[in-house]
Structure 1
């Protein structure tokens, strides 16, 4: 399986106005040769945004201001589907794309997020820095986008709910109105568990919970904290139902315009920052349960065996094995063990 990274056959560029979180290391009036916009949905306080900001500054500094990367945090450029459309059209040059959102364009991006597949981070990083990462990057490359080599962490996903319902078993999910990203994989997963999934952009999630359009949502604890979802959710079931990440992807025509030294700079700084962000998020998540408990959330840990059994019965694994294909599924099971 071919491992890809950004090369001179890279991405495209231009456009979009909004307040910027960070810029290069040179004064704004010193015009850069190349001016890239990078969109991300996470708030300024999230480890992902912080490390993207640091990488952008380092790229500007090492390139002596020739390459300016401006990070637009907190969905300033639109929701994830909108930013992905902008990236493909060349309105923005770079995007920190949630792997599940990216799966709407690159179905194999959802492969590592198959329900209850990974049991630990050791399995996740072995797969994503190995054969599963190779499968996904090759698929991304076929869409006209290019990804950095290292995927960033978004964490294992947990289920939160309002004060009207605590989730302790599969039965508790029957008829449960839950927000999921705009992706078929999680819609399929929660439908298989008897819930009523609804695809809503992350930027609209808080208000949807606040107005009770939905009863709950699923996200890593870092998103629950930085998005202040604890203000509108009472319970959190530590389900670890799937892992998800962020790919730094770019428009191929934009990066093809960069000379080799700038391509090396942008690759090396974003990949180095990805490793730091993984460690940041792990450290953050270790303290988040206590922090969120102090803010009024109640935690429980359901038995994953019952959920996996329900998904087998619903045909979830058989469906996605067929969707992803035998070769990709075998690559996943090399790290997870047999899933069906």
Structure 2
């Protein structure tokens, strides 16, 4: 009987001992989590010395400050890590935690993102940002979230301008018969056909030589693309039309996001909102600077045209007439919500 009691007592002490070890391990794990540093790879495809590049660096610094070093962001510009055609699968695998693809990269799996290509749908930059930061922007973010990504914030690339080495494109009729380089987009095809121009889909890297050799006559680009790629060397005129828009959506890996504690998610989002404000300001400053350069420093005699209100209205009348063609692709309700955003 005594032997049995002794064994029982030792067994109890043994269990207590094991419980103590388990508690220590749990405590150590908890302490380890609180001290864990989350490493983030932020991949993008443009130069570090662009509004998007500078904003990515701004974000990296700011999120580390806000989290006291618990989140460290390593930025990979100029497609050093991966290009935007492959970045979505890397986000899914959590090999990349953050990216900022252009809107056109989302359209193959989120047709609603064709909204951003609709011509003359944004009245001005203020209206654009109200759309992005309001109901329409949230609807589009939810579409991306339903595909297994975390949609964070919209960044600017800029409004698009026409350029050509033939007849200046000032009135809609001026585009007739001109071979217009566009990105692959059903919306942009309809836009081009609406003014009786000939749509030519070409990779961006081939545009300069195509303009130079006459494979295409005209193009549409934000001033940053136009200036930095020196398209003004092979174009005789640029029209500040602001007829379309290019932008980016910053997205995160869902797996990474779910592993991030809530307090760090909040600080991450705060840093991203600050970076968004910074990026949009940088984009606006660059656009003004580049326009001034094109007017003052261009040695190629490229003529700059700016549309007056009557000319803009004539363009809008032509383009609004084709909006019903996009109802099945984008959704009539989404287009009307955008137009009606105040």
Which of 152, 156, 159 is matched with 1:156 structurally?
Answer: 159
Compared CA separation, residues 122 and 258, structure 1 to 2 (3 A) = same
* Partner of residue 194, structure 1: 196
* Partner of residue 242, structure 1: 244
The separation in 2 between residues aligned to 1:188 and 1:81, in whole angstroms, is 24
SS in 1 for 2:329: helix
Larger radius of gyration: 2
The separation in 1 between residues aligned to 2:261 and 2:199, in whole angstroms, is 45
The separation in 1 between residues aligned to 2:278 and 2:110, in whole angstroms, is 26
The separation in 1 between residues aligned to 2:150 and 2:204, in whole angstroms, is 24
Segments of structure 2 that go 5 or more residues without pairing to the other structure are: 1-35
SS in 2 for 1:81: coil
The separation in 1 between residues aligned to 2:240 and 2:184, in whole angstroms, is 22
The separation in 1 between residues aligned to 2:91 and 2:212, in whole angstroms, is 31
* Partner of residue 314, structure 2: 306
User: How far off is 1:79 after superposition?
Assistant: 4.6
Deviates more, 1:228-237 or 1:132-141: 228-237
The separation in 2 between residues aligned to 1:69 and 1:243, in whole angstroms, is 29
The answer to which structure, 1 or 2, has the higher relative contact order (CA under 8 A, 6+ apart) is 1
Would you say the 8 A contact 1:102–1:109 is kept in 2?
yes
Compared CA separation, residues 231 and 83, structure 1 to 2 (3 A) = farther
User: How far off is 1:212 after superposition?
Assistant: 4.5
Deviates more, 1:68-77 or 1:95-104: 68-77
User: How far off is 1:48 after superposition?
Assistant: 1.7
Q: Deviations over 1:258-278 (max 9, x none)?
A: 222332232211211111221
TM (normalized to structure 2)?
Answer: 0.78
Would you say the 8 A contact 1:55–1:269 is kept in 2?
yes
- Count of aligned positions: 301
Would you say the 8 A contact 1:43–1:227 is kept in 2?
no
User: How far off is 1:312 after superposition?
Assistant: 4.6
The separation in 2 between residues aligned to 1:268 and 1:292, in whole angstroms, is 36
What is the alpha-carbon root mean square deviation over aligned residues? 2.6
TM (normalized to structure 1)?
Answer: 0.78
* Partner of residue 332, structure 1: 338
| Aligned residue runs from structure 1 range 1-340, under 5 A | 33-77=37-81, 79-148=83-152, 150-161=153-164, 163-210=165-212, 212-293=214-295, 294-295=297-298, 296=300, 297-302=302-307, 303-313=311-321, 316-335=322-341
Q: Deviations over 1:78-121 (max 9, x none)?
A: 55333345434544222112123322322222324421112212
